[in-house]
Amino acid sequence: MSKETAGNTVYRKNYSPYPWRLLQAKFRFEIDAETTRVFTEMELEPGGGHSKAADIELDGQDMELVRVALNGRALEPGEFTCDAERLVVHGAKAGGRLEIESLIHPQNNTALEGLYPSGKFLLTQCEAEGFRKIAYFPDRPDVMTRYDVTLVADRSRFPVLLSNGNPVESGELDDGRHWVRWVDPFAKPSYLFALVAGDLACVEDHFTTRSGREVALRIYVEHENFDKCSHAMESLIHSMKWDEDRFGLEYDLDIYNIVATNDFNMGAMENKSLNIFNSKYVLASPDTATDADYQGIEGVIGHEYFHNWTGNRVTCQDWFQLTLKEGLTVFRDQEFSSDMHSRAVKRIQDVRDLRSRQFPEDSGPMAHPIRPDKYKEISNFYTMTVYQKGAEVIRMYHTLLGEDGFQAGMRLYFERHDGAAVTCDDFLAAMADANGVDLELFSRWYAQSGTPELSARGDYDQAACRFTLQLSQKTPPTYDQPEKKPLLIPVSMGLLTRSGEALPLALEGEEGHPETRVIILDREEKSFVFNNVPEHPVPSLLRDFSAPVKLDYPYSNADLALLMAHDRNAFTRWEAAQTLAQREILANVERRAKNQALQLDPALVPAFSALLDDMETDPALIAEALSLPGEEYLAEMMPVIDVDGIHAARKFVKSSLANTLEKPLFDRYRSLLSPGPYDKSPASMARRSLRNVCLSYLMETAAGIGCANEQFATSDNMTDSLAALRGLVWSGAPSAAAALDTFENRWQHDALVMDKWFAIQASVPGPGTVGRVAELVRHPAFSIRNPNKVRSVIGVFALMNPTAFHASDGSGYRLHADKVIELDALNPQVAARMAGAYNAWTRYDDRRRELMKSQLSRIAATTGLSGDVSEIIHNALGME
């Protein structure tokens, strides 16, 4: 592996353009699982930054070079150099036609990057730098060209041959092989290349764009999954329509293909007109997929489709600009889901995710700005920060400019940059220019890491009827950046009276203003004076989470109860409930640490009881409000993380609420039973979500096991079956083992359902799960070569189950490190994700720190460790 020795840091400031223009690229792939022969033909001419003596540098890894020829003449040794990372053709001067023949071995490719096998077919994954394992090529996103690709393979083994663009010709050879030639009319970077070869079934539909283009939509899956594609197809059609309606963006080719694979390192990939998806984000039927899976499929299908404009038509100059396409496309998929379902519920789920996963990343050893300044291994920078915080930054433009201003910015962005590879600065400039505003200060969001702390204080002057809101900000130092500057923070807010009425918002010199507005903190401190305020108000701050910050305001519990019951903004109502619960849990963590008895503030009961009695509000929203803050987010609130304390205190609060409110929980649980068979309408999904939250509370009471047993036995859908199974397994019910067996027997041949079976067991809280995980990795359905299995067992255990992973004897760490080392030899990218489990290691007690440190050192000392895992581990070790 070449990357072991590399370990070089790449810096954003060192960008320079490729010195050649690539006029076009032709490929012929003679496909075979053992050895695939690749013929590359490139037309090159001197480009910007070219010097006459320039060499032609091409990336290439894990390939065998057979032949190089320039302008028809085979090159002699000495006219080119080829090492483990690149091929350099010397003294090419004016360029011309470069021909290369090379060999690759898909069968041996366990890293799932480049060309590799999945089941009985072959497929590719190129982003970010996988194309260099397919052909010698300038594998960088700013080299864009047109691709003309001929695929040749045995007809019986590989009846389907797909690549980007349009199939223009095909034919038969007399040795049983056939061929198809694909031409993509749009210039693209190499990371958007794809090919697929094999025996796949195809589900077909079509879409007519608003200007009348007929687009064939095809989803390719293994034959047994033919009947599980309808939701993905509907989601694709909804995505295409939505992008026309909301963004005015139309699809630009006559074919849109999607291929589903069980072996994929990530969620999906937006290759031009040939998306490749993890089958988890395509296949669904009511008895195999949960409501969350249905929504995940819709969101990911949307995400990859939306990339066609934000990523493909306009792409990134270099990988430091990754958030240019990813932050923007996540924002677009979030908006799509919000428009299709409940906007408030989607916002709550996204913020929960941001806080429990991005906030910790930003305070740990991998902290980086959404546009990083340096990296060692780019695949480690497909992070929560680049994606989710990146989407928050895009959302702030939207908050500042409004929908119309934002869309004007998008139009200018496409007008200026269609067909080009650009930077985050170009996006910011388009937004600024289209709106005639200066966004200089806003640009700091791209450069600065860490979660800003926003502190607000209120001061009420009764005599003057004046309320002064003082805002101040501070971003704590991070591992990558000790010094922080003030940012531009949009704060959406309102003021409420003690009886829950909204007050008009009039700043000095203004008439009344509607009951919600955005004020802007653009320096370290700023005061906002509101006039005509008749009584001491309760401020509602950061409505819809208008900025990715940690807010501190000295709310009393009564203030929070008021906001929870009366605020106009559903997000802030949810937020008030979360804050109440969080205070209650953290207070009990402290009591437990001092060996004091745990207790529940009786004031919490009426607030939660009101939620259960509320028959007006969307049940999905009530479900979110009843869901207590997760252990990861609570950990983020503590200077030294008390793993067992957090778990015990959270469980205590949940169980106290459940036992006090058993009757209303039970009644609501019963009343939400679906009257008819399963359907996937948002209203039915909302009922199931609240019903299953009620069940998870009831599991803390004597009624729980009975409810879960009955639900498991009678459910007609995976959402309810899985919630019941989880309830039984987590509570250690006597029927749990039999339920797991029933489930396994029924679903042993369905890989995606077995992932759920694994995940439930790996997520059981407590140190006992370490032994269970050690058994699960020996189960015949487990394979360390399959990323979905690794995520379901090792990922769930190490990244989502703190009381098991952090078992106080260190057994969790040992098992995990063994698996990271084993996996790294096969699949470095997925191993690096798993290795992130140690990122907060310095925040634990001394004993756990030492135990984690010794596993980090053991991984670091492994011979042949990949660059991917090495970067993560060394950053973690560098924290001390």
Q: How far apart are CA 541 and CA 521, in angstroms?
A: 13
Selection from ligand 7MF, Zn ion, none that 318 binds (CB < 5 to 8 A by kind) is none
State the Cα torsion 697-699-705-707 to the nearest 10°: 10
300 binds ligand 7MF (CB under 6 A): yes
The least distance separating ligand 7MF from the CB of residue 333, rounded to whole angstroms, comes to: 6
304 binds ligand 7MF (CB under 6 A): yes
The least distance separating Zn ion from the CB of residue 789, rounded to whole angstroms, comes to: 23
| Residue 449 DSSP label | -
616 tagged catalytic: no
- Report which secondary-structure segment, H or E, holds 70: strand 64-70
Beta bridge partners of 220: 202, 259
Nearer to Zn ion, 329 or 383 (CB): 329
Residues 187-246 interacting with ligand 7MF (rule: CB under 6 A) = none
The least distance separating ligand 7MF from the CB of residue 833, rounded to whole angstroms, comes to: 9
**Are residues 225 and 289 in contact, defined by beta-carbon separation less than 8 angstroms?**
no
267 binds ligand 7MF (CB under 6 A): yes
Torsion angles phi and psi, residue 594, rounded to 5:
-95, 15
**Are residues 478 and 403 in contact, defined by beta-carbon separation less than 8 angstroms?**
no
- Which of these, 452, 317, 322, lies nearest to 381 by C-alpha position? 322
Angle at which helices 867-877 and 828-835 cross, to 10° = 20
Q: How far apart are CA 14 and CA 214, in angstroms?
A: 44
Nearer to Zn ion, 193 or 797 (CB): 193
Selection from ligand 7MF, Zn ion, none that 266 binds (CB < 5 to 8 A by kind) is ligand 7MF
Q: Which two tokens stand for residue 32?
A: 């075979």
Selection from ligand 7MF, Zn ion, none that 382 binds (CB < 5 to 8 A by kind) is ligand 7MF
- Report which secondary-structure segment, H or E, holds 778: none
The least distance separating ligand 7MF from the CB of residue 189, rounded to whole angstroms, comes to: 12
Q: How far apart are CA 377 and CA 872, in angstroms?
A: 9
Q: Which stretch binds Zn ion (CB under 5 A): 145-153, 318-326, 393-401, 608-616?
A: 318-326
Phi-psi region of 71 (alpha: psi -120 to 50; beta: other; left: phi over 0): left
Nearer to Zn ion, 329 or 399 (CB): 329
Selection from ligand 7MF, Zn ion, none that 642 binds (CB < 5 to 8 A by kind) is none
Nearer to ligand 7MF, 295 or 692 (CB): 295
Q: Which two tokens stand for residue 486?
A: 């003030």
Q: Which stretch binds ligand 7MF (CB under 6 A): 176-184, 204-212, 303-311, 392-400?
A: 303-311
Nearer to ligand 7MF, 387 or 838 (CB): 387
Q: Give the gyration radius of the chain's Cα atoms.
A: 28
Q: How far apart are CA 328 and CA 310, in angstroms?
A: 7
The pairing of strands 489-496 and 421-422 is: unpaired
Nearer to Zn ion, 148 or 326 (CB): 326
Q: Pick from 375, 387, 712, 841: which binds ligand 7MF (CB under 6 A)?
A: 387
Q: Which stretch binds ligand 7MF (CB under 6 A): 260-268, 340-348, 724-732, 834-842?
A: 260-268
Catalytic pick among 270, 304, 636, 871: 304
Burial class of residue 833, CB neighbours in 10 A (0-12, 13-18, 19+): buried
Residue type for 750, please?
A: D
Selection from ligand 7MF, Zn ion, none that 47 binds (CB < 5 to 8 A by kind) is none
Using CA atoms, how far residue 411 sits from 143, 408, 427, 441, in Å, is: 24, 5, 11, 23
Beta bridge partners of 304: none
- Report which secondary-structure segment, H or E, holds 170: strand 166-172
Nearer to ligand 7MF, 127 or 318 (CB): 127
635 binds ligand 7MF (CB under 6 A): no
Q: How far apart are CA 455 and CA 525, in angstroms?
A: 9
Nearer to ligand 7MF, 380 or 448 (CB): 380
Q: How far apart are CA 700 and CA 691, in angstroms?
A: 15
**Are residues 379 and 872 in contact, defined by beta-carbon separation less than 8 angstroms?**
no
State the Cα torsion 616-618-620-623 to the nearest 10°: -30
**Are residues 492 and 399 in contact, defined by beta-carbon separation less than 8 angstroms?**
yes
382 binds ligand 7MF (CB under 6 A): yes
Q: How far apart are CA 392 and CA 398, in angstroms?
A: 10
Nearer to ligand 7MF, 382 or 841 (CB): 382
The least distance separating ligand 7MF from the CB of residue 251, rounded to whole angstroms, comes to: 17
Nearer to Zn ion, 182 or 309 (CB): 309
Selection from ligand 7MF, Zn ion, none that 387 binds (CB < 5 to 8 A by kind) is ligand 7MF
303 binds ligand 7MF (CB under 6 A): yes
The least distance separating ligand 7MF from the CB of residue 473, rounded to whole angstroms, comes to: 29
Q: Which two tokens stand for residue 587?
A: 């207070």
- Which of these, 811, 721, 823, lies nearest to 772 by C-alpha position? 811
Q: How far apart are CA 545 and CA 543, in angstroms?
A: 5
**Are residues 468 and 527 in contact, defined by beta-carbon separation less than 8 angstroms?**
yes
Selection from ligand 7MF, Zn ion, none that 837 binds (CB < 5 to 8 A by kind) is none
Q: Pick from 38, 196, 203, 269: which binds ligand 7MF (CB under 6 A)?
A: 269
Residue count, binding to Zn ion (CB under 5 A)? 2
The least distance separating ligand 7MF from the CB of residue 337, rounded to whole angstroms, comes to: 10
Q: How far apart are CA 620 and CA 655, in angstroms?
A: 21
Residue type for 349, please?
A: Q
268 binds ligand 7MF (CB under 6 A): yes
Selection from ligand 7MF, Zn ion, none that 832 binds (CB < 5 to 8 A by kind) is none
Q: Which two tokens stand for residue 159?
A: 């009846």
871 binds ligand 7MF (CB under 6 A): no
Nearer to Zn ion, 789 or 791 (CB): 791
Which positions from 325 to 354 touch Zn ion by CB under 5 A, shown as an x/- string? -x--x-------------------------
Nearer to ligand 7MF, 299 or 812 (CB): 299
- Which of these, 288, 164, 162, lies nearest to 225 by C-alpha position? 288
Residues 53-112 interacting with ligand 7MF (rule: CB under 6 A) = none
Q: How far apart are CA 771 and CA 742, in angstroms?
A: 22
Selection from ligand 7MF, Zn ion, none that 268 binds (CB < 5 to 8 A by kind) is ligand 7MF
790 binds ligand 7MF (CB under 6 A): no
Q: Pick from 59, 99, 127, 631: which binds ligand 7MF (CB under 6 A)?
A: 127
Nearer to Zn ion, 299 or 458 (CB): 299
Selection from Zn ion, ligand 7MF, none that 267 binds (CB < 5 to 8 A by kind) is ligand 7MF
Q: Which stretch binds Zn ion (CB under 5 A): 94-102, 211-219, 324-332, 664-672?
A: 324-332
Residue count, binding to ligand 7MF (CB under 6 A)? 15
Q: How far apart are CA 693 and CA 678, in angstroms?
A: 18
H-only helix segments in 282-365: 291-306, 322-340, 343-353, 359-362
270 binds ligand 7MF (CB under 6 A): yes
Q: How far apart are CA 192 and CA 169, in angstroms?
A: 22
Residues 448-487 interacting with ligand 7MF (rule: CB under 6 A) = none
Selection from Zn ion, ligand 7MF, none that 300 binds (CB < 5 to 8 A by kind) is ligand 7MF
Q: Which stretch binds ligand 7MF (CB under 6 A): 326-334, 414-422, 540-548, 564-572?
A: 326-334
Q: Which two tokens stand for residue 625?
A: 């409000």
Q: Pick from 203, 215, 266, 344: which binds ligand 7MF (CB under 6 A)?
A: 266
**Which residues contact ligand 7MF by CB under 6 A?**
127, 266-270, 300, 303-304, 307, 326, 330, 333, 382, 387
**Which residues contact Zn ion by CB under 5 A?**
326, 329
- Where in the sequence numbering do the catalytic residues fall? 304
